[in-house]
Amino acid sequence: MSVQWNLEQMRLFVSVAEQRSFSAVARDQRKAQSAVSSAIALLEADLGVNLFDRSSGRQPRLTEAGSALLEEAREVLRQCERLNGRALALMRGQEARLRLAQDEAMPYQPVLDSLEALAKQFPSLEVQLASAAQGDVARKLVERRADLGLLFYHEQIPEALERRVLGSVEMVTVCGVGHPLAAGGQVNCQQMSQHRQLLMATHSSVYPGSEQASPQVWRADSFYVLAEWLMRGLGWGWLPRHVVQYPAYQGQMVELVSEWTPPALVVELVWRRDEPLGPAARWLAERFAVHLQAIG
């Protein structure tokens, strides 16, 4: 079978499947509804299958074949974005400016060491660094207010973004030196449940260690706020080890040996698929991965 379909038909197929409306897609694309329907019909003829069941009412529903091909169609469009983005990067050459957005709790030493090395390798590069909550990091990339993001893994990120695992950071169970749990050093779940738990809470993502293990909890959207609460004896919590080791917190917290500790925070590099990383951004990513592994 010869391939006759085009990318515009593929985009319309994905849009109709997601919006479940020919008319809504036509309005968005500023096309006549008949043009959208005709493009889908031609795509179905080229593929040799019906993608939508049009007899099920006003809203088109995917057929079994349509459901099977939808993710393939999305991947075709993603590959096209990668191709266009890669060509754009080759045309531009080395970037003049690199805007980096990072989760505020990202290990600071690997970031500083990597940026110091970047300054030597690319002395004319302008760098802008923004620290934000995890959801804000992804938002900056989507809105093209950042070129590169460092954040902790969570399942859902915007469709426009690509991701790559760089490493991980360890989580530990801690309390303030004056907290009742600090005396024993080793605690069980029953003992922990008798004291206030301090938890991370974000609107757009879930960190490892967001599970409630005590009837009484306080929540904050910053690991550093949790650390301040912990030092004041307001409860116990799970923190990344590098936060506990921050110089200002030395001697203020006690690491507890508990029955359960959350899995490590996975650090990811994130960028827009249609604007792949330039030479300096790729170099910085490799250096950060090395420095991150060094603190593990």
- Does residue 205 surpass a pLDDT of 70? no
Q: Tell me the average pLDDT across 165-177.
A: 91
Q: Where are the domains of the chain?
A: 7-90, 93-169+266-295, 171-263
Percent of all residues in the chain with a pLDDT value above 90, rounded to a whole number:
32
pLDDT single digits (tens) 221-253: 888 899 999 999 999 999 999 899 888 898 999
Q: Tell me the average pLDDT across 198-214.
A: 71
Contact criterion met (CB below 8 Å) for 20 and 61: yes
- Does residue 85 surpass a pLDDT of 70? no
Q: 74 pLDDT band (50/70/90 cuts)?
A: confident
Q: 211 pLDDT band (50/70/90 cuts)?
A: confident
Running DSSP on this structure, what letter comes out for residue 186?
B
How are beta strands 61-62 and 52-53 bridged, if at all?
antiparallel
- Distance from C-alpha of 66 to C-alpha of 43, rounded to nearest angstrom: 11
In whole numbers, what is the pLDDT of the chain averaged over residues? Answer: 86
Instruction: Output the pLDDT for position 154.
Output: 74
**What is the pTM assigned to this prediction?**
0.64
* 239-245, Cβ contacts within 8 angstroms, sequence gap of 24 or more: 239/171, 239/172, 239/174, 240/105, 240/107, 240/169, 240/170, 240/171, 240/172, 240/265, 241/169, 241/170, 241/171, 241/172, 242/107, 242/108, 242/109, 242/169, 242/295, 243/105, 244/172, 244/174
Please tell me the CATH code under which domain 171-263 is placed. 3.40.190.290
pLDDT single digits (tens) 116-149: 999 998 888 899 999 987 678 989 999 999 999 9
Q: Tell me the average pLDDT across 61-80.
A: 88
Q: Which CATH class is domain 7-90?
A: mainly alpha
Instruction: Output the pLDDT for position 202.
Output: 61
Instruction: Output the pLDDT for position 239.
Output: 92
Q: Which fold has domain 93-169+266-295?
A: D-Maltodextrin-Binding Protein; domain 2 (3.40.190)
Residue bearing the bigger pLDDT, 125 or 56: 125
Contact criterion met (CB below 8 Å) for 277 and 168: no
Percent of all residues in the chain with a pLDDT value above 70, rounded to a whole number:
91
- Does residue 89 surpass a pLDDT of 80? no
pLDDT single digits (tens) 5-27: 888 888 899 999 888 888 888 88
- Does residue 109 surpass a pLDDT of 80? yes
Q: 185 pLDDT band (50/70/90 cuts)?
A: confident
The answer to whether 93-169+266-295 and 171-263 have equal CATH topology is: yes
Instruction: Output the pLDDT for position 93.
Output: 65
- Does residue 204 surpass a pLDDT of 80? no
